[in-house]
Amino acid sequence: MTARLAITGLMKRFGGVVATDNVTLDFAPGSLTAIIGPNGAGKTTFFNLITGKLKPDGGEIRLDGVDISGQTQSEIVRRGIGRAFQVASIFPRFTVEDALTAAVLTHRQQTSSMLRRFPLPDAASRAREIMALVGLERVGKTPSRYLSHGDQKLLDIALALALEPKVLLLDEPTAGMGPEERWQMIERVQRLWSEVGMTLVFIEHDMDIVFKIAQTIRVLRYGKVLAEGTPDEIRSNEAVIEAYLGTSLEEPA
């Protein structure tokens, strides 16, 4: 089985601190993976390295066999790695539909035209497809700044989807949400993954959610891969229980 995203010996240092320490991980095409780990384990740094926001000090990041480490953010986006942010990064004064249409136009490199009128019908219908996919049709005409916290995060994911990524990285899609909203969000993410068939990697703190939906779990600690495996394997992994999960897993909620 060839991996869609293959990471080998990835290194990143900040001064004396090793934030990413020889990380080697594979992500199979169409897989759904959770990345967990205590605060400061290097999860967000890991995403920043993959997306080109940070330059790795060593190692390889291969997307479909091509090494992309050291490329700029926009090159990596073009190659097919999309990302949603921990704090929703949206266009406050755009309506949801306009924002997605503009994102689709940007992806298709059709923003240079001054002679045509926005929105181009093609891009607008693609935007509506994406809205339907993530469940934002109900707020299509709402300016993004008036959306609820959860919808803003959905919009952030939808903006990443406009780039038609092969790999989608979600940095804490449920951060800052109440319990009920969390489950709605995660069900949406799961449905999205099964409908679009892309490779999805998400960082998550809520263990109930992680064990419920992830196919594979990778545990990071001090920038290293501590363990990887199926939810069952992780649950019973001694090192993980000792280092991170404590004893609460004995009786899953």
Partner 1 sequence: MTARLEVLAGVVLGALVVALTLAFGDKALLDVLMRLAIFGLLALSLNILVGYTGLVSFGHAMFFGLGAYSFGLLMQSGAVSIPSAALITLVVACIWGGVVGTFCIRLDDIYFSFLTLAFQMLLYSIIIGWVSLTGGDQGLMGGIPRPPFLGINLAEPRQLFVLIVVVFVVCVLAIRQIVQSPFGFALRMIRDNAERARFLGLPVQRYKLIAFVLSGFFGSVSGILMSLYVSGAYPNFAFWSMSGDAIFMIILGGLTVFLGPLVGAAVFLLLNDNITRLTEHHGIVMGVVLLAIVLGMRKGFLDVLDEWWQARASRAEARAGGDRQ
Please state the closest distance from residue 88 (CB atom) to partner 1, in A. 10
Nearer to partner 1, 81 or 227 (CB): 81
Q: In Å, what is the CA distance from 155 to each residue of 96, 118, 209? A: 7, 20, 21
Instruction: Count residues near partner 1 (CB under 8 A).
Output: 33
Applying CB under 8 A, which of residues 55, 78, 138, 149 lies at the interface with partner 1? 78
Applying CB under 8 A, which of residues 83, 126, 153, 218 lies at the interface with partner 1? 83
Strand partners, 170: 84, 202
Please state the closest distance from residue 164 (CB atom) to partner 1, in A. 12
**The residue to which tokens 């799961």 are assigned:** 190
Nearer to partner 1, 120 or 249 (CB): 120
Residue 59 tokens, joined: 């190692």
Binding of residue 89 to partner 1 (CB under 8 A):
yes
Residues 219-231, buried b or exposed e (16+ Cβ, 10 A)?
A: bbbebebbbbeeb
Please state the closest distance from residue 109 (CB atom) to partner 1, in A. 8
How buried is 116 (Cβ within 10 angstroms: 0-12 exposed, 13-18 middle, 19+ buried)?
Answer: exposed
Binding of residue 73 to partner 1 (CB under 8 A):
yes
The angle formed by the CA atoms of residues 154, 40 and 7, to the nearest 5 degrees, is: 75
Binding of residue 121 to partner 1 (CB under 8 A):
no
Kindly list the residues in this chain that would bind partner 1 in the complex (CB under 8 A). Answer: 73-74, 77-78, 83, 89-94, 98, 101-103, 105-107, 109-120, 159, 162-163
